Amino acid sequence: MKLYLVRHATQNDEDPEKRLTEKGLEEAKKMATYLAETIEGLKIIYHSEKPRAVQTAQEIAKALNVKMTLKEGIKPMDDVRPIASWIDTLTEDTMIVGHMPFLSRLSSLLLNGNEEADHLFFSTAGTICLERKSDNTWYELWMTDPSII
Taken in order of first residue, the domains within the chain and their CATH numbers are 2-148 (3.40.50.1240)
Contacts of 3 (CB under 8 A, 6+ apart): 87, 90, 93, 94, 95, 96, 110, 129, 130, 131, 132, 138
91/98 Cα distance (integer angstroms): 20
Per-residue pLDDT for the chain (149 aa), expressed as one digit of tens each? 999 999 999 999 999 999 999 999 999 999 999 999 999 999 999 999 999 999 999 999 999 999 999 999 999 999 999 999 999 999 999 999 999 999 999 999 999 999 998 678 899 999 999 999 999 999 999 999 999 99
95/42 Cα distance (integer angstroms): 8
8/128 Cα distance (integer angstroms): 12
pTM above 0.95, yes or no: yes
